[in-house]
Amino acid sequence: MNDNQPTAQQALLRDLFAMSAMSGFMSRQSVGMAPKSVAEYAYQLADAMLAARQTTKTGE
pLDDT of residue 60: 58
pLDDT of residue 27: 85
Residue 12 in any domain: the answer is yes
Residue 2 in any domain: the answer is no
Residue 53 in any domain: the answer is yes
Residue 45 in any domain: the answer is yes
Collect the ranges in the chain with pLDDT lower than 50: 1
Residue 28 in any domain: the answer is no
Domain coverage including residue 43: 8-23+33-58
Write the pLDDT tens digit of every residue in 38-53. 899 999 999 999 999 8
For the range 17-25, what are the long-range contacts, defined as Cβ-Cβ under 8 Å and sequence gap of 24 or more?
17/45, 17/46, 17/49, 17/50, 18/42, 18/43, 18/45, 18/46, 21/45, 21/46, 21/49
pLDDT of residue 52: 93
Q: Domains in the chain: how many in total? A: 1
Residue 41 in any domain: the answer is yes
